[in-house]
Amino acid sequence: MTRVNRRTFLKGLGASAGLASSFFGSRIAMGQTEEAPLRVMFVALQHGWGVNPGFGRNFEGSEYNFTLPKQLQAFEAIKDQMVFIDGARGTLWGNAHDVSYTDILTAATPWGENGNDDNIPGPFPIPEGPSIDYVIAQHANKPALRLSARYRSWVSTPHPMSWDDQKRVLYGFSTPTDAYDAIIEPMRSNLQNPPSPGKLAARSNLFDYLGKDTERLRKKVSGTEQRRLEDYLSGLNTLSERLQQKEELTLTVDDLPTRPTQSPAFDASIDNYFDMIRLGFKFDTHRVAVLGFGEGLDDWTWIDKNGMMRSGNPWDEGFHHAVAHYNKQDDPDVEDRRNAYDYWVDWYAKKIVQFVQSLASTPDVDGRSLLDNTLIVLTGEVGTGTHDTRNKLHTLIGGGDRLPRGRWIESPKVEPRMRDGIFIGGQTRAGEVVESGINYGSPFSMWHTADVLKAVGNLAGVPLTSFGLETNNRSPIALDLTT
Amino acid sequence: MTQTRRDGWYLLGGVALATLMSVNVGCDGNMTKLSLESTEAQSRDAFVDPDNPGQVIIPGEGIKDNPQQPGGEEPVIEDDFDRTQPYVRRLTELQYHNTIRSALGDYFEPEAYPALDDAIPTIGFANNPEYLGINDANAGKLYDATGVIAAQSVEQVPDIKACVESQNNACFQELIEDIGAKLWRRPLTSEEVQDLELARQAVEAAPGTRVEQAEFIVQALLMNINTLYRTEIGPTGIAGLAEGERLKLSDYEIASALSYTLWNEPPDQTLLDLAAAGELGKQEVYEAQLERLLGDEKVASAMTAFYVDYLKIDKLFIKEKVSEFNLTPEARQALVDGFKQDVRATLQLPGASLYDPFNQTDFHVNQRSAPFFQVSDLQGEVFEQVAVDPTQRYGILTHPAFLSVHSGTKDSGIVKRGVFTLEQLLCEHLGSPPANISPAPAEDLPEGFDPTTLTTREALHIQHSSQIQCYTCHKQIDPAGFGFENYDGSGLWRLTEKDNITIDASGTLEVQGETLTYDDSIGYVKALTGSQTMQRCFTERLMTYVLGTKPSEKEHELFLTKFSENNGNMSASLQALLQSPSFIQRQIAAPTTTSEEE
């Protein structure tokens, strides 16, 4: 059996010691432990996993005895593996798309900023803190695998969801072939054609050398320009980690998926991504993955109010406004728009179920299933079907006995007109706490996504006492998911 | 200046070697000296090569950049113009490819060159230094592609091939110096050469073959920061400079700035020779070179890239469209290629104005793009210049590629066109929509209105005017989009929509004190491009593209005056722009990265 080496941290870039320490200072060399680590996978669905209760996301029952809303019925098959956190608000101000792009995994979007920052290609603000996937990956001392299935914003492609602790965008792969060529192909190439000593030496010396010249230039500049050079080094760093894996793995060519076709169907591209994530988790090359589901599906079938099967979006408006975004109660067409949206969500839910079942049948190093050692977090952009993030649904799947599952946890709600003692607002980049004067209309969650992300970080072993902006850690009732 | 000669070099004086930064050039009697701000720096003698004043030799240290070479002898101009800030900017993908081609030769297939997958911002420019970078996503592609080019270079580039076939290790160092100088647009210092040579020796010791060593050298140079990025930080850098301090670009930086701006290529040997001689920073030399470069046809191609970025034409490749529009990948490619040919051909005409592309009535069309121009009888892939009915097409703002990019998935996208027109073409900053606004479908109208009997424009107007929170902004946005209503979402000319409802593309747009009145889309485009507001904005956009950031108000006013005086003549305007203070000078900005530009 051919073995692949993996190295846990970047060797080299020695000339940029100051920079390296800021990237890796918190890292600890970790070897394989007898106990299998928890892997975490974040799945963001562009329009959320079912919109607000008034639009059909109705759980009924009690915490451990509940029924699923219509659009999430597909999860019935794995319900005992799931925890539904029903309602957590994102940062609530301005156009929610602007805000939630950056807030979704960071809970650190500053209050009152429109973006318009030259550092980000699009009108959304830079978060003040890193995304949770970065934090967990740093703690685990493993790279994160970031993938996008047409998840993009209305202004920018590619569309960022992850940031590091220097406020730098962490880009992901936007096609299965790109991801495959970067992640899997080097493994395949190494297994099939072990590199010669000269090639190995070239690879290991290349990044040391490039680091020296970069550091020389870095010393001549300051501020933003230094940051630009650090971005370059960070990109090389990630690349170096991928290329120079050293830790021994029992991986064979037969374990590797085949290369995706150049332009796979959307369905197939998601399966390709799932294959890569499963491989990364199984062989412990990655402990964190981020997968964005966008509007790739355009031929889903759904049943209209007359019981007729329909296909895709028949309305003149694009999917975003006609289906996912639609919330006009007095429109005679509203029921069909809801049906179309529900079946759209259902399609993604079924894909998740398939993936979860495949993890359940994959043995892990500790004898349990890979699902027992993987926590999948379903999240999304908006929570109500409008430009609003007030009551987002977060769903946890798997994780074994690290948390009690088969639960529906409904967030306590606050009535916006009677908010005595309940803080609604945010924090500016300068640290100023701002109480919002906006009348938000209907009730919304006391919990913030910061509370959910902190709880997930805790489950992954990161000793977080808070996450994101301090004022976003709002939970008056502790959201403790552990047993 | 008295020079103490030693082996052909002359004594320069005490040179700070520890940092080579924060130094001021001064004269002390007959001997040139450096006054050092760094207290840690050790002074020692340095000797200038009279054939290469850009470098000094330090006994025991080898060859270094000459810190007294601040881009010629012209002093930094003192006036009250704010300069733009210094940048380290990555080359655009096209510039990077051209640089590789220039250094190694034209031996590689187009697909061999690295794709860097840069983002395309909706407003502003993709060549903004903030948008160009190497990151987690494109570093792998860079590595893979440069590896392929390195392997092919060993087989095809004569000097590299000869070195591999010889048994002489000294040729590796020659390759480093020769290819490195072409890729970096300046000579490498001895330290830089030595670093790569030592890394090469490590590969040799592995043991690595001579092929592997040569491939390593090529790939290391191609991926190097000095190849991928160009600096605008002067000869000694900007670390330690205080806010407001000015600096002048080094001669080599000026050479690159000129060449990449006007040709999208690395500097040619003439520019490099002048930089090496310390001549390029001199006003008369600079002007002569500017004139030389402007006389080349490459300028029209380089400026075509500006219009593509300015109008976001490349977004057509990623724009989602319903199949009814027939915008197949081949059609999109034909439309984009035709657009580029239109602009290039217009700008290549003698005495061309940078405003001429807005007024052209001939378009390059082939079989695949002909249906979008509603032109028949065109066969084949070859483009023909076709005179299109000027009552239906007038200038590049009526090109189907532009109109397809700026429209909806299924419709003409009045709001999208309005926002782009106001923001990008007229420099009106609209800001983000207010809180909790939910854009509703066009057919979602107040009771009593039937969307099937209304034009999209009428429905949109009713919808927005019935909600005060919408109307506040849309009373400005929508009229800026109504004027394009004679074109559908694929840029087809039309007079009716839906079930034969007559379209009204007339209107009035109030913008920055001007009132633009139009009867149809052609009238709108003429009113827009003829407005002072657009001309002012166009010149600001052009400056932003060239300088990499928004210019100061004063600098813009200066350029606008010159642009108007010469009626936008391309050569004269670019000459004026490249003589703007900020083109070869920079000023340390306040410690913030936010501007109102993007």
β strands within B384-518, DSSP E: 384-387, 496-497, 501-502, 507-511, 514-518
Whole-number percent of chain B with pLDDT over 90? 60
In this structure, how many other beta carbons lie within 10 angstroms of the beta carbon of residue B115?
Answer: 14
Please count the structural domains in chain A.
1
State which residues form the domain around A435. 38-190+264-472
| CB-nearest partner of A318 from B138, B241, B409 | B409
Farthest-apart Cα atoms in chain B, separation = 95
Of residues A46 and B70, more confidence is placed in: A46
Terminal C-alpha separation, chain B:
49
Does residue B590 belong to the interface with chain A, where contact is any CB pair within 8 Å? no
| CB-nearest partner of A438 from B87, B224, B435 | B435
Is the per-residue pLDDT at B458 higher than 60?
A: yes
| AA letter at B414 | I
Please give the pLDDT value at position B18. Answer: 28
| CB-nearest partner of A198 from B122, B138, B206 | B206
d(CA B248, CA B233): 8
Does residue A114 belong to the interface with chain B, where contact is any CB pair within 8 Å? yes
B3 φψ region: left (φ > 0), alpha (ψ -120 to 50), beta (else): beta
d(CA A269, CA A124): 28
> Is A26 a member of any domain?
no
CA distances to B300, B339, B354 from B350, in Å: 11, 20, 12
User: Three-state SS across B488-543?
Assistant: CCCCCECCEECCCEECCCCEEEEECCEEEEECCHHHHHHHHHHCHHHHHHHHHHHH
Terminal C-alpha separation, chain A:
40
| AA letter at A440 | Y
> Is A15 a member of any domain?
no
Contacts of A92 in chain B (CB under 8 A): 435
> Is A390 a member of any domain?
yes
CB within 8 A of A341, min separation 6: which ones?
A47, A51, A71, A323, A324, A326, A385
| CB-nearest partner of A223 from B192, B591, B594 | B591
Is the per-residue pLDDT at B35 higher than 80?
A: no
Kindly report the CA angle at B267 between B262 and B271, in degrees rounded to 5?
Answer: 105
- Per residue in B153-169, pLDDT (tens digit) is 999 999 999 999 998 99
Q: Are strands A288-293 and A144-149 parallel, antiparallel or unpaired?
A: parallel
Contacts of A197 in chain B (CB under 8 A): 206-208
- Per residue in B284-334, pLDDT (tens digit) is 999 999 999 999 999 999 999 999 999 999 999 988 888 889 999 999 999
DSSP code for B594: B
Please, which residues 413-442 of chain B have a Cβ atom closer than 8 Å to chain A? 431-442
Cis peptide, bond prior to residue A158, ω within 30 of zero: yes
Is the separation of the CB atoms in B494 and B372 below 8 Å?
Answer: no
What is the band of B443 on the pLDDT scale with cuts at 50, 70, 90? low
CA distance A78 to chain B (A): 34
* Interchain contact, B128 vs A118, CB within 8 Å: yes
Q: Taking residues B512-526, what's their average pLDDT?
A: 95
- Per residue in B396-426, pLDDT (tens digit) is 999 999 999 999 888 899 989 999 999 999 9
Q: How many CA atoms lie within 13 A of A251 on its CB side?
A: 27
Is the separation of the CB atoms in B540 and B547 below 8 Å?
Answer: no
Is the full-model pTM beyond 0.90? no
Q: Are strands A82-88 and A407-410 parallel, antiparallel or unpaired?
A: parallel
| AA letter at A135 | V
What is the band of B32 on the pLDDT scale with cuts at 50, 70, 90? very low
> What is the interface pTM, i.e. ipTM, of the complex?
0.79
d(CA B53, CA B68): 9
| AA letter at B242 | A
In this structure, how many other beta carbons lie within 10 angstroms of the beta carbon of residue B189?
Answer: 16
DSSP code for B74: P
Does residue B408 belong to the interface with chain A, where contact is any CB pair within 8 Å? yes
Of residues B34 and B141, more confidence is placed in: B141
d(CA B461, CA B493): 22
* Interchain contact, A236 vs B139, CB within 8 Å: yes
Q: What mean pLDDT, rounded, does chain B reach?
A: 83
d(CA A166, CA A163): 8
* Interchain contact, A202 vs B215, CB within 8 Å: yes
**Residues forming a β-bridge with A170:** A162
Please give the pLDDT value at position B20. Answer: 28
Q: Of A134, B427, B46, which is closest to residue B55 (Cα–Cα)?
A: B46
What is the band of B77 on the pLDDT scale with cuts at 50, 70, 90? low
Backbone angles phi, psi at A350, to 5 degrees: -65, -35
| AA letter at B254 | I
Cis peptide, bond prior to residue B350, ω within 30 of zero: no
d(CA A36, CA A450): 27
Please, which residues 192-251 of chain A have a Cβ atom closer than 8 Å to chain B? 196-202, 205-206, 208-210, 212-214, 216-217, 219-225, 228-229, 231-232, 234-236, 238-239, 242-243
Is the separation of the CB atoms in B179 and B199 below 8 Å?
Answer: no
What are the DSSP calls for A335-394, one per residue?
Answer: HHHHHHHHHHHHHHHHHHHHHHHHHHTSB-TTSSBTGGGEEEEEEES-SSSSS--TTEEE
Token pair listed for B293: 């470069």
What is the distance of C-alpha A322 from the center of its chain? Answer: 26
Q: Which long-range contacts (CB under 8 A, 24 or more apart) does A328-337 make?
A: A328/B440, A328/B444, A329/A54, A331/B444, A335/A305, A336/A304, A336/A305, A336/A310
Q: What is the dihedral of CA A213, A219, A224, A230, to 10 degrees?
A: 40
d(CA B288, CA B182): 23
Spell out the domain ranges in chain B. Answer: 5-65, 88-231, 247-298, 299-405, 410-531, 532-583
What is the band of B192 on the pLDDT scale with cuts at 50, 70, 90? very high
Place of tokens 């479908």: B441
Kindly report the CA angle at A108 between A107 and A113, in degrees rounded to 5?
Answer: 120
CATH number at residue A334: 3.40.720
d(CA B560, CA B539): 6
Q: Taking residues B109-126, what's their average pLDDT?
A: 87
Q: Among the residues of B83-135, which ranges form H helices?
A: 93-104
> Is A257 a member of any domain?
no
Compute the radius of gyration of chain A from its Cα atoms.
23
Q: Are strands B9-14 and A65-67 parallel, antiparallel or unpaired?
A: unpaired
CA distances to A72, A277, A297, A398, A405 from A359, in Å: 20, 10, 24, 9, 16
Q: What is the dihedral of CA A211, A213, A215, A221, to 10 degrees?
A: -140
Please, which residues 375-404 of chain A have a Cβ atom closer than 8 Å to chain B? 386-388
From first to last of its 483 residues, chain A has per-residue pLDDT tens of 332 222 222 222 222 222 222 222 222 222 333 468 899 999 998 888 875 555 556 788 998 999 998 889 999 999 999 999 988 888 776 666 666 678 899 999 888 776 554 444 455 678 899 999 999 999 988 889 999 998 876 555 567 889 998 888 888 898 999 999 888 887 888 788 788 899 989 998 999 999 999 999 999 988 788 888 988 998 898 888 777 654 334 577 888 888 888 778 889 999 999 999 999 998 888 999 999 988 877 778 899 989 999 988 888 777 877 887 666 667 788 888 888 888 888 999 999 999 999 999 998 888 889 999 999 999 987 665 556 677 788 999 999 988 999 999 988 887 766 666 677 778 888 888 887 766 666 777 788 899 999 999 999 989 888 899 988 887 655 566 765
Nearest C-alpha in B relative to A442: B436
Kindly provide the b/e burial profile for residues A425-452, where b requires at least 16 CB atoms within 10 angstroms of the residue's own CB. Answer: bbbbbeeeeeebeeebeebbbbbbbbbb
> Is A211 a member of any domain?
no
* Interchain contact, B207 vs A197, CB within 8 Å: yes
Q: Of A431, A441, A363, which is closest to residue A52 (Cα–Cα)?
A: A441
Contacts of B593 in chain A (CB under 8 A): 117-119, 223-224
In this structure, how many other beta carbons lie within 10 angstroms of the beta carbon of residue B76?
Answer: 17
Q: Of B181, B113, B175, which is closest to residue B148 (Cα–Cα)?
A: B113
Nearest C-alpha in B relative to A323: B441
Is the separation of the CB atoms in B251 and B74 below 8 Å?
Answer: no
DSSP code for B453: G
Q: Of B285, B266, B113, B95, which is closest to residue B186 (Cα–Cα)?
A: B266
d(CA A385, CA A378): 17
> Is A479 a member of any domain?
no
Does residue A263 belong to the interface with chain B, where contact is any CB pair within 8 Å? no
What are the DSSP calls for A142-161, one per residue?
Answer: S-EEEEEES---SS-SS---
d(CA B519, CA B538): 24
